[in-house]
A and B are shown apart, each in its own frame.
Chain A
Amino acid sequence: MSRLPKKDVVIIGLGWTGSIMAHELAQAGLDVVAIERGPWRDTASDYNIGTAPDELRYAIRQDIFLRPAQETLTARNTPDQVALPIRKYGSFLPGNGVGGAGVHWNGHTWRFMPTDFNLRSHLVGRYGEGFLPEHSTIQDWPVSYDELEPHYDFFEKVCGISGKAGNLRGATQAGGNPFEGWRSDEYPTPPLKPNLAQNLFHKAATELGLHPFPLPGANVSTAYTNPYGVRMAPCTYCGFCEWFGCANYSKSSPQTCVLPVLMRQTNFEARTLSEVTKINLAPDGKTATGVTYVDSAGREWEQPADLVLLCAYSLFNVRLLMLSGIGTQYDPATGKGTLGRNYAYQTNAGSLGYFDKDTHFNHFAGAGSLGMMADDFNGDVFDHGPHGFIGGANLACNSTNARPISSRVVPPGTPRWGAQWKKATVETANHTANVGSQGSSYSYRDCYLDLDPTYKDPLGRPLMRMTFDFKENELKMSRFIVDRTAEVMQAMGAKQVVKNYKRGPWDVVPYQTTHNTGGAVMGNTPEDSVVNRYTQHWDVPNVFVSGACLFPQNAGYNPTGTVGALTYWALDAIKNRYLKNPGQPMVQA
């Protein structure tokens, strides 16, 4: 192993959180290196307009995602089962390479509701302790919405999020989401233009007494220059957004929002195709001395640094902590330990509507974040008392694509092949729409992450093991939500509505969502969390953790907006407090 000259900061992973951390800390004058296990990727070379819109290559063969051969997880539903490797990613699709999953996301960019942060105390206060599901391990976040608001605002400005405010400093705004937390400012760019499905949803939801509003999205609607001076171009509704890189510089990503200015800083260096294998600790176990990584030629390097920032994908941050022996592994039998605890996901389901032959949805003219929403049944907006579950979901009517390998629809009962299949496919094409939902997924005692006893990665290190299933509370919530989506679909004028209820057990095959949360959660005490409210590790104060692994449980929203806000929240603490007294915990345990 060769030892390299020491840096001020080593960043593990160059996606959204890593590039933001790198840029801000390099600007603050620190010497920063980011180590990324995938290749360098940029718009013109890798998401070229002549190659980007390729469904087979990207959506089906998963060219730019993390390949399981490099790293995967093992999975099971309950602790008494034997976990087996996810040999092909399906249910979730982590990214790989510079930009990470921030390249291939749809761009739905939400703020969690204020009551999502003080969740446990809020619910117990309103409904009583006995209302929580059995074995629920939900807990309050150690930060409040008010504390995160400025950081949500800045992340939205870096991305150029398109949308319409519903609550400006407490004043309700027509056309926006009346249930959102207060905003200090309007969205940076106006909403995307609605397609037919969004117009029908808006009308139907309004008639039903709901409060529809445009989906806040990282597809910019107009030319835009962000606070870093990086320029983006308007979305062209190409229909190749999620699972694809954007050739138009319209989808917010590290490439389109941060890297052009980050790469100009001479005190920043990116090392690609280099995988960090371990965070190294001093003999006292309380200070990280840097990281060890292996480059693509198989050479091992030690990169010393004063500050270590874990900025890989949520799940892989958790695994690297486990492989580095930092923190105490959670044990579901005793409830002791925190690392791997409170893994949660997302509970998505909806209704499909079949319309008449004169209704041409043209979803091929879509964008990842082209949608009309309603939050009337999200979080604790509505009284859960009569329903007997906690949590909720946003209702969504999106037009993202009509890519024909995976987006074909036929009526129920149609054969999967042959002349009848062809006829039904042609008759149905362009005449269906979906009302979906992004539902909360709360934490439970027996849903967790640990290292697998059997399966190893190519470097011989144990894979991480995921133990997860949908619980009755979540399924009940989702049934209620799907019934609401069906009501809207009916009101939109569908001649046939098919409700697709969420059913357990959780299956690794069908794509559900890449919203894996928890495992290294932030909290108020070392007994219930891995890091403190500033995302600083309780045991090793010069290690900070980013990403959705910080979430104590997941809300009824996509996580990236909150991941971005937490990144700027942590940066504020690092720049303005930690660096004045480096190596010291900012919260006393």
Chain B
Amino acid sequence: MPALTRRHLLSATALVAFSSSALGRSLTGSLPWQPNEAYPPQLVRPGGWYFLTADEAAMVDAIVTRFIPADDLSPSGKDAGCTVFIDRQLAGPYGTYEWLYMKGPFSANPLPTQGIQSPLVPQQQYRQGLAALAAHCRDQFGGKRFEQLTGDEQDGVLRAMEKNELQLGQLKRPLLDAKMFFDLLLQNTMEGFFADPVYGGNRDMVGWKMVGFPGTRYDFRDVLANPGQVYNKPPVSIIGRPAWNGRPA
């Protein structure tokens, strides 16, 4: 890394974290310029878990597979890398809401229009939510873990969470309840399935291929020259295309 970089990598994160602790600068006389200055994200590679425990990861694997089941439209959420994505996101600044306003006091009765008002950051929401979900399954399904349930049973639990018809242990609003946790899981799964593959999900751009999103080609003047035509070019991500690395697109 260049010595003069004004921001630094946080080693534990999957994202490049822009640090506001870099010193302020005085600039005059010309545009500041440093050769090769850019702030790319760090490429996520699968293997090991940075935040989730192995048991938690197995539950998340099962959940993302119910959210995005394998069929002829795409591989499953798990095979698309959604769990890897979620794990790496939780290990980075998102996991601690590092960029959000998290000072108290936290109201016990926020208005529905006031957005996030829980002091629990995503790391805590996953840890507590998954633990409560595991306990719920143990109690209701004869000691089984969520990932040991049938697909229909898993869907039933997820649907109950979505409708907030399921009490997850002691969890309740505004800290966290079943629906809030469900919404977080679903949002993060969709992020993983559709974000650039650099972050560990959307493996081989399977999410983009499913919806016909051509990715980061950045120049679509050819499309505007002839509107309304079917677009067939394969997608490109900010880490390129499999074909460019000697693999089939």
Contacts and interface: CB of A to CB of B under 8 A. Distances in A.
Interface of A: 39-40, 42, 44-46, 48-51, 53-57, 60-63, 67-70, 72, 75-77, 81-82, 84-88, 90, 192-196, 199, 236-240, 247-248, 259-260, 263-264, 266, 268-274, 295-297, 359-362, 364-366, 402-405, 408, 416-419, 422-423, 425-426, 429-430, 454-456, 505-509
Given A51-B38, A88-B115, A240-B218, A425 B211 contact: yes
B40 A51 contact: yes
Interface in B65-97: 66-69, 71, 73-74, 93-94, 97
10 contacts: A40-B25, A50-B40, A51-B41, A84-B107, A88-B115, A88-B116, A260-B31, A366-B220, A417-B68, A455-B103
Contacts of B99: 61-62, 67-69
Closest 5 A-B residue pairs measured CB to CB? A365-B220, A273-B24, A365-B223, A68-B101, A56-B195
A98 to B, nearest CB: 9
Interface string B129-158: 000000000000000000000000001001
Given A274-B24, A507-B112, A404 B207 contact: yes
Given A57-B41, A247-B218, A416-B186, A264 B22 contact: no
A70 B69 contact: no
A44 B35 CA distance: 10
Interface of B: 6-7, 15, 18, 20-32, 34, 37-41, 66-69, 71, 73-74, 93-94, 97-103, 105, 107, 110-117, 155, 158, 162, 186, 189-191, 194-196, 198-199, 207-208, 210-221, 223-225, 227-231, 238
Contact of B28 (A57, A199, A270): A270
Given A54-B196, A509-B115, A264 B30 contact: yes
Nearest to B74: A422
Contacts of A86: 101, 114-115
A507 B30 CA distance: 44
Chain A contact residues: helix, strand, loop or mixed: loop
Contact of A426 (B67, B155, B211): B211
Most buried by B among A193, A269, A422: A422
A42 B31 contact: yes
A53 B103 contact: no
Nearest to A49: B218
Given A51-B238, A196-B228, A364 B39 contact: no
B191 A271 contact: no
Contacts of A430: 211-212
A201 to B, nearest CB: 12
